[in-house]
Amino acid sequence: MVNCKITVLRRSINKDFANEYTKEKRELCPKTSEGQVFFSIDGAKPDDFCEFAWVDIYKYIFALAFKGNFSEWMKEPNIVITCCTDGIRPVFYKIERIE
């Protein structure tokens, strides 16, 4: 198993959804900041990484950690761009295999 670097690329908010569907005022995800870097060592969740986002992105960590790649659609096969499934304030991540 190899390790993966996880970089926060973008935090966003769908204000129209937030205004229509949530009870409280919603802001960007407070658990991350753009440019923040985490490392998954041997497929483990990094300390202080959002539990919900981890569940969403783990399939990509797993694939890259076991030498899978995304050459079908990514320019660099050892990198994938994904996001958490929070429909109000999604966070986008770049995950890359590091050896």
Render each residue's pLDDT in the chain as its tens digit; 99 residues. Answer: 689 999 999 999 999 999 999 998 889 999 999 999 999 998 899 999 999 999 999 999 999 988 888 888 889 989 999 999 999 999 999 999 997
Copy the structure tokens of residue 89: 């304030």
The contacts of residue 49 (CB under 8 Å, 6+ apart) are: 6, 38
Instruction: Enumerate helices (H) and strands (E) in the chain, giving the number of each.
Output: 2, 4
> Model-level pTM?
0.92
